[in-house]
Amino acid sequence: STGAVTTFATGITGATGITSDGANLYVTDFSGSRIHQVVISSGARSDLITGLSSSLAGITTDGTNLYVAGYGAGTVLKVQ
């Protein structure tokens, strides 16, 4: 409401997509082929998924699963 901008999470290089389930943010990392989970209440970050075979672009959720677009591979990944 004030227009102030602050850094919420660090250490995420190549962030290309973001979605939320209300309690967590999920951020795709294009260069690291991983999905980061950031707890909204604390800002704590962890790697949810690492070592995927394709670079990751967009991400969304249906409230239960994550759906991630694999750039260049022409795939959509479902993370349960």
pLDDT at 51 (0 to 100): 80
For residue range 15-49, list pLDDT tens digits in order. 889 999 999 999 998 887 889 999 999 999 999 98
CA-closest candidate to residue 8, choices 34, 35, 27, 32: 27
For residue range 10-19, list pLDDT tens digits in order. 888 888 899 9
CA-closest candidate to residue 28, choices 53, 5, 7, 49: 49
What are residue 78's phi and psi, to 5 degrees? -110, 120
